[in-house]
Amino acid sequence: MEKVSIVVPVYNVEEYLQYSVGSLKQQTYSNIEIILVDDGSTDRSGEICDQYAQEDDRIRVFHVQNGGISYARNNGVRAATADWIMFLDSDDYYDRRTIEYLMGLKDRYSVDLVSTPVIEVRNHKDNDFSGDLNEKSSRKLDRYTALKEMFYGHHVGTHSGGKLYKKEILLQHPYPEGMIYEDLAVAYNNSYSFTLSEKEKIKATDDIKLTEIKSN
């Protein structure tokens, strides 16, 4: 079973960490490391992260000077020990089957990047969602079709969540620091400009259900 690193940028989200980190600790895919990058929080977020690390040896915490979400993500990627990377914003959470399912799609299609849609909710009541994670709705896309899907809002989004990356992609195309809409820039680079091997890059998409939590 290959290892997956999940990078979580953290900044002043003490009330949401129990949901985001909790959803990762409950994943059905067991070979993971959870990298919490405290981006100079001024509330109790950093302290809570340290407590989580003491309770679970899969959790690693890095405290950095405030540099923004891209800076935190890039630091997390460099610190990751796995060849496969996912991101989760600290006010979001995953269905407990998410990582297992994305890794299954990666193996099925032999791809370097897997992407899924997200679902926006306004509460934290349901950590999981009813229904099967059905591979019949998944498909391969060449990089040009994937780019079109991203920018025209179909099944592939530009958001950082719900994606499984080969680490080498993110090292070659890190998140641009000091830029708004940083997800858009990375999505463009990874779908259009990136060439990791002689094969054309492809992406697998599926209707796996990922939840995005929005704070009030």
Of residues 109 and 140, the one with the higher pLDDT is 109
Q: How confident is the model at residue 157 (pLDDT cuts 50, 70, 90)?
A: low
Structure tokens at 30: 């067991």
107 Cβ partners below 8 Å, 6+ apart?
none
Of residues 29 and 188, the one with the higher pLDDT is 29
Q: Where is average pLDDT lowest: 87-91, 143-147, 155-159, 195-199? A: 195-199
Pick the CATH number of 4-213 from 3.90.550.10, 3.30.70.560, 3.10.20.30, 3.40.50.300: 3.90.550.10
What is the pLDDT at residue 135? 60
Q: Please report where in the chains the tokens 């100079």 appear, as a residue.
A: 40
d(CA 110, CA 88): 23
Whether residue 77 contacts residue 7, with contact meaning beta carbons closer than 8 Å, is answered with yes
What is the pLDDT at residue 133? 60
Domain ranges of the chain: 4-213
List, for residues 64-83, the tens digit of each pLDDT value: 999 999 999 999 999 999 99
Within the chain, how many helices (H) and strands (E) appear?
Answer: 7, 10
Share of the chain above pLDDT 90, in %: 53
Of residues 163 and 184, the one with the higher pLDDT is 163
What is the pLDDT at residue 115? 83
Q: How confident is the model at residue 160 (pLDDT cuts 50, 70, 90)?
A: confident
Query: CB atoms < 10 A from the CB of 198, how many?
Result: 5
Q: Give the pTM.
A: 0.80
Measuring CA to CA, which residue among 167, 162, 157 is closest to residue 81? 167
List, for residues 176-209, the tens digit of each pLDDT value: 887 554 555 555 555 444 333 333 334 444 444 4
Structure tokens at 142: 């060449």
Average pLDDT of 88-105?
93
- Phi/psi of residue 120, each to 5°? -95, 130
What is the pLDDT at residue 147? 66
What is the pLDDT at residue 193? 40
List, for residues 33-64, the tens digit of each pLDDT value: 999 999 999 999 999 999 999 999 999 999 99
Q: Please report where in the chains the tokens 């994305």 appear, as a residue.
A: 102
